[in-house]
Amino acid sequence: MRNVTITQLKYVLAVEETRNFANAAKLCGISQPTLSMMIKKLEEELGVILFDRSKSPTIVTTDGEKIIIRARKIFSELSGLEEDLRFAKELCGEIRLGLIPTLAPYLLPLFYDHFHKEHPQAHLKVFELQTDHLIGQLKRDKLDIGILATPLHDSELVEQALFCERFFIFSNSPRMKPKLNWNDIPTDSLYLLSEGHCFRHQTLQICKLKKVDNISFQGGQFETLLQLIKKNRGVTLIPELLYHQLSEHDRRKYVSEFTPPVPTREISLVAARFFLHEKKMSALAESILANVPVALQSHRRNSTQIIPIA
């Protein structure tokens, strides 16, 4: 193990990412024979085979997976050291931030400018990704931090809860009342987000209380659902941040509240345990909590119920 180098581990991670030796070599800026030779030397030093080269794309072996986990941890620790030194005086540099689509349009505008004013040397590079993809990018160190619905119950991740969002009922049904309990949702014409959105699964869990299976439409974004519902008889659930952006007219005409216990979703900052970014998370949390509606930070647990994301 004395001859294992950081460069060799970097090449291993590149092959794991691209699943192709030629593409990994391009990613690292070296020739393929050089990369292959360096990885071969590492395999000889460790006494294991890291990749099954007979497959296309290249497959990581069981031993290779173990080495890759350790390699990621090593690079995380190096990155953490660099971050501590760089951020000793102030927050600076790029912060790769992922948000889920049912949150990004409503939360990001609230704190984005404030964050950059508070931390002018830092830069948020924002990605809008569905939950599964976002989690994968965190674990692969392609993102620093995610903002998404929790709890995730994943031992590889660290969560820092920010606030809870209530669910509201958006409907153009004549049976609507200002307040409804879970069993009174008019689900004869249900409009849902498409597969992959955790909000879809949470909506189904709430509506399963009536064994709902009558889905009229599945869309990729809330705006499509709401516009269709306004033109037709339909119903969907929306999150609280979206509710706050509706016009007063639309709130009165289309929106109903839940009676307690009100279904909610917990929103948290999430990072991979191996790639902790404590100072970045702390700065983001301060900026977000300074700008989201106070009501979202004060929902009482005894009058709400957090809905699992799956």
Q: Is residue 310 part of a domain?
A: no
Query: Is there a single domain that holds both residue 99 and residue 76?
Result: no
The pLDDT of residue 90 is: 64
- Tell me if 304 is assigned to some domain: no
Q: Same domain for 95 and 116? A: yes
Cα torsion through 85, 91, 92, 97, rounded to 10: 110
* pLDDT at residue number 216: 60
Q: Among the three residues 85, 118, 133, which one is the final residue of a domain in this structure?
A: 85
Q: Are residues 249 and 175 in the same domain?
A: yes
Average pLDDT over residues 113-139: 93
Q: Is 306 contained in some domain?
A: no
Q: Is residue 280 part of a domain?
A: yes
Which of 206-226 are b and which e, b meaning 16 or more Cβ less than 10 Å from the residue's Cβ? bbeeeebeeebbebeebeebb
More confident residue, 76 or 119: 119
C-alpha span between 48 and 176 (Å, rounded): 65
Task: Count CB-CB contacts under 10 A for residue 283.
Answer: 19
Q: How confident is the model at residue 202 (pLDDT cuts 50, 70, 90)?
A: confident
Same domain, yes or no, for 45 and 96? no
Q: Are residues 256 and 200 in the same domain?
A: yes
pLDDT the model gives residue 215: 62
pLDDT of 79 over the 80 cut = no
For 19, phi then psi, to 5°, come to 55, 35
Whether residue 248 sits in one domain with residue 173: yes
Q: Does 101 lie in the same domain as 26?
A: no
At 113 the three-state DSSP class reads helix
| pLDDT class of 93 with cuts at 50, 70, 90 | confident
Which of 124, 84, 118 lies closest to 104, judged by CA? 124
Predicted pLDDT at 210: 46
Return the pLDDT at 170: 92
- Are 215 and 153 contained in the same domain? no
Asked whether residue 151 falls in the same domain as residue 270, the answer is yes
Confidence of residue 29 (pLDDT cuts 50, 70, 90): very high
- The DSSP symbol for 181 reads -
User: In sequence order, what are the residues at sequence separation of 6 or more whose Cβ sits closer than 8 angstroms to the Cβ of residue 146?
Assistant: 97, 98, 99, 134, 135, 137, 138, 269, 270, 271
- The pLDDT value recorded for residue 56 is 86
Whether 95 and 144 map to the same domain: the answer is yes
Q: How many domains does the chain divide into?
A: 3
The pLDDT tens digits for 188-197 are 778 877 666 6
Average of pLDDT values for 7-13? Answer: 90
Question: What would the pLDDT profile of 208-246 be if each residue is shown by its tens digit?
Answer: 644 546 666 676 788 888 888 888 878 889 999 999 999
Supply the range of the domain harboring residue 38. Answer: 6-85
- Average pLDDT estimate for 76-89: 62
Residue 136 has phi, psi (to 5 degrees) of -60, -40
Single out the residue of 245, 236, 156, 153 nearest to residue 199, CA to CA: 236
The pLDDT score that the predictor gives to residue 243 is 95
Q: Which of 66, 85, 104 is the last residue of a domain?
A: 85
94, 120: one domain: yes
pLDDT over threshold 50, residue 88:
no
Q: Using an 8 Å Cβ cutoff, are 186 and 235 in contact? A: yes
**CA separation (Å) from 207 to 161, 189, 201?**
25, 12, 10
* pLDDT, tens digit (0-9, with 9 covering 90-100), for 141-185: 899 999 999 999 999 999 999 999 999 999 887 777 888 887 777
Determine which of 157-166, 212-221, 271-280, 299-308 has the lowest per-residue pLDDT on average. 212-221
Considering the domain boundaries, does residue 275 fall inside one? yes
Say if 307 falls within a structural domain.
no
CATH of the domain at 159: 3.40.190.10
Asked which of 42, 63, 85 is the last residue of a domain, the reply is 85
User: Which domain CATH number covers 15?
Assistant: 1.10.10.10
Of residues 310 and 234, more confidently modeled: 234
Residues 30-74: tens digit of each pLDDT: 999 999 999 998 888 888 999 999 888 999 999 999 889 888 888
Asked if residue 287 has pLDDT above 50, the reply is yes
Q: Are residue 73 and residue 127 in the same domain, yes or no? A: no
For all residues of the chain together, what is the average pLDDT?
85
